[in-house]
Amino acid sequence: MSSYAILAFFLFLGAVLAWGAMLTGHLLSPKTPRTPFQREAYECGNSTIGPTRVRFRVGYVFFALLFLVFDIETLLLFPAVSALSASLRGEETGIAPLLAAGEVLLFVAVLSFGLVWAWRKGALKWD
């Protein structure tokens, strides 16, 4: 069986198990009449003031964007690394090992430059 078929199956299994457990919990839980206080957003006993979907710091989103860039760059590095390993093993890849290593290093340099740029631009600053 192809490994991806099994992995797809686990996608299904995980969901079924988790929702099955939650459904069992719902069926077994005692049903008592709800008081209005039970339905309030939990804030250690105080009532919520204002909207609960508060504004949050934009910095969080900055870091998510940075992740997006760096994750994709890591993914792009992956085939380069595979090619480097293959050419070091002496397989026919059309590129000499030292040249391949140089290209990977160049890519890492570009990645680092991106980080330095973001740093200089103040994307890593919290205030």
Partner 1 sequence: MNALDLSVNHPVGDFVREVLFPNCPDLAWAANGLIAAVALVLFPVFLSAPFLIWMERKVCAHMQARLGPMRHGPHGAFQTIADVMKLLFKEIALPGKIDRLPYLLAPAIPLTASFLSLAVIPWDHDLQVADPEQGILYLLAVGALGILGILVGAWASNSKFALLGAMRAGAQMLSYEVSLGILMLLVALLSGESSLREIVLSQQGTALDWWIFKAPVVGFLAFVLYLVSSTAELNRGPFDLVEAEQELTAGYQTEYSGMGFAMFYLAEYVNMVIQAALVSTFFLGGFLPLQIGIAPVDGILAAAPGIVWMVAKILLVVFVYMWFRWSFPRPRIDQLLALEWKTLVPANLVLFALGVLLVSQGWIL
Query: In the window 67-126, what residues touch partner 1 (CB under 8 A)?
Result: 67, 70-71, 74-75, 77-78, 81-82, 84-85, 88-89, 97-98, 100-101, 104-105, 108, 111-112, 115, 119, 124, 126
Task: Write the interaction track for partner 1 spanning residues 22-61; mark x where CB under 8 A is met and - where it is not.
Answer: x-xxx-xxxxx-x---xxxxxxx---x---xxx-xx-xx-
Give the nearest distance from C-beta 92 to partner 1 in angstroms. Answer: 16
Nearer to partner 1, 57 or 92 (CB): 57
126-77-110 Cα angle (round to 5): 55
Q: How far apart are the C-alpha atoms of 1 and 3, rounded to whole Å? A: 6
DSSP codes, 45-87: TSPP-S-SS----THHHHHHHHHHHHHHHHHHHHHHHHHHHHH
Give the nearest distance from C-beta 94 to partner 1 in angstroms. Answer: 17
